[in-house]
Structure 1
Amino acid sequence: MTEHVPGVRSAAIGVFVGVGSRDEAPTLNGASHFLEHLLFKGTPTRSAMDISSALDAVGGEFNAYTAREYTCYHARVLDEDLPMAVDVLGDMLTASLITPEDVEAEREVILDEIAMHDDDPDDVVHNLFAAHAWAGSPLARPIAGTAESIRALTRAQVNRYYRGRYTAPAMTVAVAGNVQHADVVRLVKKAFARNDFLADVDAVPLPPRLATSPRATKPGDIRTTRPFEQVNLVLGMRGLTRSDQRRYALGVLNAAFGGGSSSRLFQEVRERRGLAYSVYSFATSYSDAGMVGVSVGSLPTKSGEVLEVVRDELARVVSSGLTQDELERGRGQMRGGLVLSLEDTGSRMTRLGEVELFQDRLLSLDEVLARLDAVTLEDVHTLAADLFNRPETLAVVGPEN
């Protein structure tokens, strides 16, 4: 997938592998993220230092991330350096060594990363929320794995996961910038031809992940004690899938309800009552699942009142929807955020890759803006009345009472 962006001298490339933490068996929890780290450690022709220095030497940006439904390896370089970036990524994706020494060294790095997230109240409460809301599903497990699962993973398991999952049909290469499609295809064919990676001439891309309805979520409360200064809570309900056509109305609703400093939640919880420093609503969507809700952190003495106010505001938007001014602000926030993000080649590249993985087709910018413009007060009110009336899942993390 490519997009020519006039007037820029850069190119952003991403290799999207259609495998993430939700594709792991329980005994492999964290394998996708572990593998993401290991692919930077070296190939038969490049050491870890060679991989890093190749991009550093031209001022390029180079990184990767693991999500629940895919893993992405990406770079952003001057247009003249794109052939090098494609070759490095192709080498990493098709010919990484996954040596026992690298596995043991990176195991310690990942354990440190997990410990770092365990010290972040926001990460802890969202992981707790997911664990309860999607209990029994791979979506419930943390993307990075747990300390126990990472210690138990062997080199053989990770290497087998690499060889079995990182196949040509599972990969989408997306490039945006000062590029021509035919040139990119030629570069990719050459870079990914190592180890007969493209030998299966009959291979076809895996179809996009699509679902007609979201999977069920588990309601109820879950609480855990941590020696934090604040109480952090997430209150949520079952939401929409990535492909649900109501996602445009949800975007407007989410922006107006809790997406910025002018939003209803921010104004009521922070500005008027001074109950919390950070409060926001969220809408998380996957191919066959979704959650909507509110995240907030407050002093322990104020947590009960914060939760009561949040529930009151949810009830108010269910009963009366948004005002016209709120609708316009929410729509404007969505429109502006989308257009401004697409001034960046990296954002355009990410959009290409994610659409190929999760949608039937790529909508033009004008089509997306038209769908946002078509959202009405009735659309938002109907959606809020549906979503925010669903059974609640509440996760709370904080000090002992």
Structure 2
Amino acid sequence: LKEIKKVFGNIPNKPKSPKLPVKERQTMPKILLKKKKTDQSHLILGFRSYDIFYPGNPALALLSVVLGAGMSSRLFQRLREELGVCYYVRSGNDAYTDHGYFEIAAGLANDRLAEVIPAVLNECKKLKDELVPHDELEKAKEYIIGNTKLNLESSDAIAMFYGSQEILKHKVNIPEEKFKKIRAVSAVDLRNLARKIFKQETLNLAMIGPSNDKKKLEKLLKI
């Protein structure tokens, strides 16, 4: 505390600026394009998800792993190994105190958009329609647990793990509690969550590349 006061003591104590409220209402897909002469296009497909207090966040983490974390994930296998249409593809869920979003990012050749976007959305649809096999789900659980253990080997990572919980949630869970929640997630939980997240009306696309044909892209955004 002495060092903190020494470094930050001269900063004036002012009330924080009010945060702009998140606009949660969305009734149709949205597209944001930045036209730029590039050798490849970079896109993010995003869906509205949930804040950090949502009890289903362990299932959201697993949904992200199954879909796009690592070389054995569904998106990597489909887009890289089978179709060969992406330079990279990954998924993730970001949660904040008042909102969250699930994203799928990909880099691809400029002429492969018509293949990539439907292929990505089809993998999302499969998670809505089918149960994730037991072995695949267990592998995803061990992926999260193993990565968490590895990431907590440094003191700064431990500080971030506990400090962020205290600051944002005012409640701290130890790693074992996180692992218990991860292990408790079922395939039915994942399917139910996919049905809540992957909706046509909350689908968004942001892309940078030479294409600016919004009407063509709108036709591809079907799930």
Using structure 2 for the length normalisation, give the TM-score: 0.84
User: In the aligned structure 2, how far is the partner of 1:340 from the partner of 1:353?
Assistant: 18
Shift of 1:299: 0.8
Name which of structure 1's ranges 217-226 and 388-397 shifts more when overlaid on structure 2: 217-226
> Which residue, 40, 63, 68 being the options, matches 1:230?
40
> Which residue, 151, 156, 168 being the options, matches 1:346?
156
> Which residue, 149, 173, 182 being the options, matches 1:372?
182
Equivalent residue of 1:257, what SS? helix
User: In the aligned structure 2, how far is the partner of 1:87 from the partner of 1:279?
Assistant: 46
User: In the aligned structure 2, how far is the partner of 1:249 from the partner of 1:259?
Assistant: 14
User: In the aligned structure 1, how far is the partner of 2:205 from the partner of 2:146?
Assistant: 32
Q: Which amino acid aligns with 1:90?
A: K
Rate the CA distance shift 1:383–1:301 in 2: closer, same or farther, 3 A: same
Q: Deviations over 1:309-350 (max 9, x none)?
A: 111111111111322222112111110111111121111101
User: In the aligned structure 1, how far is the partner of 2:25 from the partner of 2:3?
Assistant: 41
User: In the aligned structure 1, how far is the partner of 2:192 from the partner of 2:126?
Assistant: 13
Q: Which amino acid aligns with 1:91?
A: K
Matches within 5 A, 1:102-117: none
User: In the aligned structure 2, how far is the partner of 1:244 from the partner of 1:91?
Assistant: 38
User: 2:10 aligned with 1:95, yes or no?
Assistant: yes
Shift of 1:90: 3.1
User: 2:202 aligned with 1:394, yes or no?
Assistant: no
- 1:235–1:393 contact (8 Å) kept in structure 2: yes
Shift of 1:87: 4.8
Rate the CA distance shift 1:217–1:279 in 2: closer, same or farther, 3 A: farther
- 1:259–1:280 contact (8 Å) kept in structure 2: yes
User: In the aligned structure 2, how far is the partner of 1:372 from the partner of 1:287?
Assistant: 21
Q: CA RMSD in A?
A: 1.9
Q: Deviations over 1:149-208 (max 9, x none)?
A: xxxxxxxxxxxxx54158xxxxxxxxxxxxxxxxxxxxxxxxxxxxxxxxxxxxxxxxxx
Q: Deviations over 1:257-315 (max 9, x none)?
A: 11111100111011111111110111111101011121111010112211111111111
Identity rate, percent: 26
Question: Which residue of 1 is the match for residue 100 of structure 2?
Answer: 290
Question: Which residue of 2 is the match for residue 164 of structure 1?
Answer: 14
- 1:217–1:238 contact (8 Å) kept in structure 2: no
Q: Deviations over 1:6-33 (max 9, x none)?
A: xxxxxxxxxxxxxxxxxxxxxxxxxxxx
User: 2:53 aligned with 1:243, yes or no?
Assistant: yes
Question: Which residue of 2 is the match for residue 154 of structure 1?
Answer: none
Equivalent residue of 1:261, what SS? coil
Does 1 or 2 have the higher relative contact order (CA < 8 Å, sep 6+)? 2
Question: Which residue of 2 is the match for residue 312 of structure 1?
Answer: 122
Matched residues, number: 204
Question: Which residue of 2 is the match for residue 266 of structure 1?
Answer: 76
- 1:318–1:389 contact (8 Å) kept in structure 2: no
Rate the CA distance shift 1:340–1:164 in 2: closer, same or farther, 3 A: same
Rate the CA distance shift 1:301–1:356 in 2: closer, same or farther, 3 A: same
Rate the CA distance shift 1:224–1:217 in 2: closer, same or farther, 3 A: farther
User: 2:167 aligned with 1:357, yes or no?
Assistant: yes
Q: Which amino acid aligns with 1:255?
A: V
Q: Deviations over 1:50-108 (max 9, x none)?
A: xxxxxxxxxxxxxxxxxxxxxxxxxxxxxxxxxxxx65543222226xxxxxxxxxxxx
**Structure label with greater radius of gyration:** 1
- 1:221–1:393 contact (8 Å) kept in structure 2: yes
Using structure 1 for the length normalisation, give the TM-score: 0.48
Question: Which residue of 1 is the match for residue 219 of structure 2?
Answer: none
